[in-house]
Chain A
Amino acid sequence: MAEDARDTRATLALLAALAAAAAGAHALGEPFYVNMAARVAILAMAAAGLNLALGFGGMVSFGHAAFFGLGGYAAGVAAWHAANQIPLASWPVLVPGTDRMIVVWAAAAATGGLAALLIGALSLRTSGVQFIMITLAFAQMFYYFAISWPAYGGEDGLPIYLRNGIEGLDVYDPFTFFAICFVWLAATLAGTARIMRARFGAALTMARLSEARLASAGVDPFPVRLTAFALSGAVTAVAGALNADLNGFVGPSALSWKMSGELMAFVILGGVGRLGGPVAGAAAFVLLEHFLGAATERWVLVFGALLLGVTLFARGGLLGLLAGRARHG
């Protein structure tokens, strides 16, 4: 479809701009801005995970911070156990901690996916406002749990003193770390596009547009939605693990409702259900945060006012400006 092609072109242009910005900053010897680009890639990936549930699946989750934070804690806890040489579990089999990124990603994806499966199985029994409230409440459950469980830092969070590594790569080089995050983001977007073109994507779209029509075509909407929700949670969790490694820290704030709201804002500011929407939304947020945050102490107030203005008066998001009208209004 023509609009899909336009969407793809805009997405590719955004990715190219992000890579060019990081490469430019690297060439000028500005590691700060390379790290900023890595942050954009990570937040965009987390929001792209949410977009699968929210944009393409129509499931308005206000609890994706749960998966983002769980992924972060998966990275932090694994690294903590590896650093202190305490096994993660000694029964039924000995599970040591790890400082290998690939293992951490798998653990984060599994944790986030499983949590999303459980939360989704309960929350998808409802819809509309109840779904929003329930996903938010379950995310807060993890937040309060992280605060009150003292083993992994509790309220203070968990520092990761040594960044998790990959054989053959210098992960402390900012540009290498950016490249890792960028590949993850690109893979997420390519995977999303692939899924949405497949039979499963068609079923998910129809589950959003008209449940009755999907059911009458002989497809039960519930497993379709639940699968998309679990996948969405797994993607956001991997982004959370990358974020923990970028900051060298994971704390309860990664699980807080503000994080959920911000992820949602990226998706909506960028353009709901648009492939590149999360990239545009996350980039706009990080840039605004950096420049407005430097200019005023009241950055949260300004961000709130901007978000309010955009929600009330500008519809269709940034991708709407870049690639034309939204596919569904």
Chain B
Amino acid sequence: MSAALALEQALNGVQLGVMLFLAAAGLTLIFGVMGLINLAHGALFMTGAYACAFLTRETGSFWLGLAGGALAAAAAGAAVELLVVRRLYGRDHLDQVLATFALALIFSDAARWIFGPQPLWLDPPAALSGAVPLPGGGAYPAYRLAIIVAGLAAAAGLHALIARTRLGMRIRAGESDREMVAALGVNVALLYTAVFALGAGLAGFAGAMVGALRSVQADMGEPVLILAFVVIVIGGVGSVKGAFAGAMLVGVTDTMGRALLPALFARIWDPATAAGAGAAVASMLIYMLMAAVLVLRPKGLFPADG
């Protein structure tokens, strides 16, 4: 593999990692602060993508669509929290899993109902439709590069929000002692809704950006949800820092595996077998990574206290 191709694949890996971080950050925050496992998080990711595709089509502006996608997902998250999720905080994980699984079913079927079974297509904005030359002779799509930058900026913003603002202070307090935060007079109900909407908005933002890379369809949230779980388990449940490290590890491992394994296997087997086996093993690579982390550090790379 040439250096230019390797750099391109590495960038693809980082781009996937950034997306996964945006999806996983909300999940891990929601678990960290409210102790809730949210299987409907992939549905919020999908909501962002649909809202972006719809608004872009109606207004003609991708940027309005992008902002609208994040806001729509945050609003959907807040509504879901107020109507349903709020009742689940005191319940055991079994009820949480079942109720949020039901929500995921409702969201994806509703999307199919409203927008039809055919996927929607969303074009990247004209300003970012070109390619950027890479050192070593290659070129990289400007839109993917913009996703990396936007994702890293969102990660930095989230870090600043948690580390420097009053809301962030309450989130951190909620992570270390939920009851005490309530006892100190913080409006916990409002805090929970805000955290849920924040997580949903991040996922919706990611979904809106990914929508222009792939098609927008009703079941697009499921693979993201599963990958976000893998990310969280690797990084440590409840830790935002862990989610970032896990997301980058998973993104780069998955992308590099898919690029390298078929070529590697081609040295042993004939091309057809190598392509099939390479793809199959590459699809399992991140789960092997997860298993390895579980054996070495059962609580993840950056275990959150509690």
Contacts of A144 in B (CB 8 A): 283-284
B105/A307 in contact, CB under 8 A:
yes
Question: Which residue on B lies nearest to A62, using beta carbons?
Answer: B97
CA of A312 to CA of B98, assembled, Å: 10
CA of A129 to CA of B32, assembled, Å: 11
A230 within 8 A of B: no
B103/A304 in contact, CB under 8 A:
yes
Q: A132-B97, A301-B106 are in contact. Are A147 and B226 (CB under 8 A)?
A: no
CA of A311 to CA of B237, assembled, Å: 25
B294/A125 in contact, CB under 8 A:
yes
**Residues A102-150 near B (CB distance < 8 A):** 122-123, 125-126, 128-130, 132-134, 136-138, 140-141, 144-145, 147-150
CA of A123 to CA of B293, assembled, Å: 11
Q: A132-B37, A133-B233, A257-B226 are in contact. Are A301 and B101 (CB under 8 A)?
A: no
CA of A126 to CA of B113, assembled, Å: 39
Q: A129-B31, A130-B237, A132-B37 are in contact. Are A298 and B102 (CB under 8 A)?
A: no
- Chain B interface residue count, CB cutoff 8 Å, equals 43
Q: Of the 9-residue stretches B87-95, B122-130, B139-147, B198-206, which lies at the interface with chain A?
A: B87-95
A261/B101 in contact, CB under 8 A:
yes
A125/B102 in contact, CB under 8 A:
no
Which of B88, B98, B222, B279 has the most C-beta atoms of chain A within 10 angstroms of its own C-beta? B98
B110/A301 in contact, CB under 8 A:
yes
Contacts of B182 in A (CB 8 A): none
A62, A132, A136, A311: which contacts B102 (Cβ < 8 A)? A311
Question: Which residue on B lies nearest to A258, using beta carbons?
Answer: B105
B232 within 8 A of A: yes
A265 within 8 A of B: yes
Contacts of B226 in A (CB 8 A): 136-137, 140, 257
B280/A149 in contact, CB under 8 A:
yes
Contacts of A307 in B (CB 8 A): 98-99, 101-102, 105
Contacts of B104 in A (CB 8 A): 304
A54, A138, A258, A301: which contacts B113 (Cβ < 8 A)? A301
B291/A303 in contact, CB under 8 A:
no
Contacts of B95 in A (CB 8 A): 311
B184 within 8 A of A: no
Nearest Cβ on chain A to B21's Cβ, whole angstroms: 16
A265/B98 in contact, CB under 8 A:
yes
CA of A179 to CA of B151, assembled, Å: 57
B283/A300 in contact, CB under 8 A:
no
A132/B298 in contact, CB under 8 A:
no
Nearest Cβ on chain A to B43's Cβ, whole angstroms: 10
B133 within 8 A of A: no
A136/B109 in contact, CB under 8 A:
no
> Chain B, 11-43, contact with A by CB distance < 8 Å: what is the 0/1 string?
000000000000000000001000001010000
B244 within 8 A of A: no
A129/B93 in contact, CB under 8 A:
yes
Contacts of A138 in B (CB 8 A): 287
CA of A53 to CA of B39, assembled, Å: 21
A209 within 8 A of B: no
Given contacts A134-B294, A261-B101, A304-B105, 17 further A-B contacts (CB under 8 A): A125-B294, A126-B299, A128-B93, A130-B233, A132-B37, A132-B97, A148-B276, A261-B98, A264-B101, A265-B101, A268-B94, A303-B105, A304-B102, A307-B101, A308-B103, A311-B99, A312-B99
Question: Which residues does A use to contact B, with CB under 8 Å?
Answer: 54, 60, 62, 122-123, 125-126, 128-130, 132-134, 136-138, 140-141, 144-145, 147-151, 257-258, 261, 264-265, 268, 272, 298, 300-301, 303-305, 307-308, 311-312
24 A–B pairs (Cβ distance < 8 Å), ordered by A? A54-B94, A60-B97, A122-B295, A129-B31, A130-B233, A133-B230, A133-B237, A134-B290, A137-B287, A138-B287, A141-B284, A144-B283, A144-B284, A145-B284, A257-B222, A257-B226, A261-B39, A264-B101, A300-B109, A301-B110, A307-B98, A307-B105, A308-B84, A311-B95
